[in-house]
A and B are shown apart, each in its own frame.
Chain A
Amino acid sequence: MTDHPNTQSDSHVHDQPWRTWATIAVIGILAFGVLLGAIVIPVVQGRGAGLDAYTAICRALGILPGSPARQQVPDRSPPTPVSQVVWTPEVLQILADAKPERGRAKVLEVCSSCHGEQGVSAAPEFPHLAGQSGAAIYKQLHDYKTGSRTNEQMTNVVKDLDDSVVADVAAYYAAQPKRNLRLSTLAESPKSIVQLVELGDPSRSIPPCAACHRPGSGGPIETPILSEQGNDYIILQLKNYASGERRNDVYGRMRVIAAKLTEDEIKGLAAYYRAGFH
Chain B
Amino acid sequence: MRNVDKLCLAHFWVAFGAFLIASVLGTWQMWVRSPLGANVGTPGQYFMSVTAHGVAMAYVLTTFFIMGFGYFVATTSLKRPLPGVPWAWFAYWMAVAGVVVVLVPIGMGQATVLFTFYPPLTASPWFYIGLVMVVVASWIWCGLMFIAMWEWKRANPGKPVPLAMFGTVANALMWLWTTVGVAAELLFQVIPAAFGFVQTIDVGLARTLFSWTLHAIVYFWLIPAYIAFYTIVPRAAGGRLYSDTMGRVTFILFLLYSLPVGMHHLLMDPEHGNGMKFIQVLLTAFVAIPTLLTIFTISASLEIAGRLRGGRGLFGWIAALPWERPTVLATGLAFVMLGFGGFGGLINMGYGMNAMVHNTSWVTAHFHLIFGGSVVIMYFAIAYEVWPRLTGRDHLSLGALRLQLWLWFVGMVVMTFPWHWLGLQGQWRRVANFNYADPIIASWGPFVIVSFGGGLVLLASALLFVRNLYVLHRGPSADVSRPLYALAVHPPRRVPAALNGFGLWNALVVVLMLFAYGYPIAQFVIAPSPAAIVHRVR
Q: Which residues of A contact B (CB under 8 A)?
A: 1, 3, 7-8, 10-12, 14-15, 18-19, 22-23, 26-27, 29-30, 32-34, 36-38, 41-42, 57, 59-63, 67-69, 87, 89, 92-93, 96, 133, 195, 198-199, 202-203, 208, 210-211, 215-218, 221
Contact = CB atoms under 8 A, between A and B. Distances in A.
Q: Which 10 A-B pairs have the closest CB atoms?
A: A60-B275, A37-B278, A62-B273, A202-B435, A92-B199, A7-B158, A38-B275, A18-B498, A33-B282, A15-B497
B273 A59 contact: yes
Contact of B110 (A29, A61, A216): A216
Contact of A133 (B435, B515, B538): B538
Interface stretch (B7-15, B39-47, B414-422, B470-478): B39-47
A73 to B, nearest CB: 14
Contacts, number: 143
7 contacts: A22-B505, A32-B282, A37-B276, A37-B278, A37-B282, A59-B275, A216-B537
A37 to B, nearest CB: 3
B499 interface: yes
B535 A218 contact: yes
Given A61-B273, A62-B272, A23 B508 contact: yes
B200 A92 contact: yes
A42 B199 contact: no
B520 interface: yes
A3 B493 CA distance: 11
A62 B520 contact: yes
Given A29-B286, A68-B274, A218-B121, A23 B504 contact: yes
B494 interface: yes
A217 B508 contact: no
A60 B39 CA distance: 46
Contacts of A63: 273, 523
Contacts of A60: 273-276, 278
A27 B438 CA distance: 53
Contacts of B159: 1
Most buried by A among B256, B282, B433: B282
A181 B43 CA distance: 19
A26 B256 contact: yes
A22 B44 contact: no
Interface string B269-285: 00111111111001100
Nearest to A91: B199
Contact of B199 (A19, A89, A217): A89
B535 A221 contact: yes
Contacts of B515: 30, 34
Nearest to B110: A216
A22 B212 CA distance: 23
A87 B121 CA distance: 16
B238 interface: no
A69 B352 CA distance: 14
A36 B158 contact: no
Given A60-B273, A202-B433, A208-B43, 13 more contacts: A1-B159, A3-B158, A8-B157, A10-B494, A11-B495, A18-B496, A19-B504, A26-B511, A41-B278, A60-B275, A203-B437, A215-B538, A216-B109
Nearest to B281: A37
Contacts of B495: 11
Interface in B503-521: 504-505, 508, 511-512, 515, 519-520
Given A38-B279, A89-B200, A61 B43 contact: no
B531 interface: yes
A93 to B, nearest CB: 6
Contacts of A23: 504, 508
B246 interface: no
B318 interface: no
Contacts of A69: 274
B497 A12 contact: yes
B437 A29 contact: no
Contact of A217 (B44, B282, B283, B286): B44
Given A7-B157, A203-B437, A216 B278 contact: no
B493 A1 contact: yes
Nearest to A23: B508
B424 interface: no
B533 interface: yes
Nearest to A7: B158
A217 B43 CA distance: 10
A115 B222 CA distance: 61
B42 A199 contact: yes
A26 B31 CA distance: 47
Contacts of B508: 22-23, 26-27
Contacts of B498: 15, 18-19, 22
A57 B278 CA distance: 13
Most B CB within 10 A of own CB, among A12, A29, A42, A215:
A29
> Which has the most chain B C-beta neighbours within 10 Å: A34, A37, A133, A215?
A37
Nearest to B286: A29
Interface string B524-538: 000000010101011
Contacts of B433: 199, 202
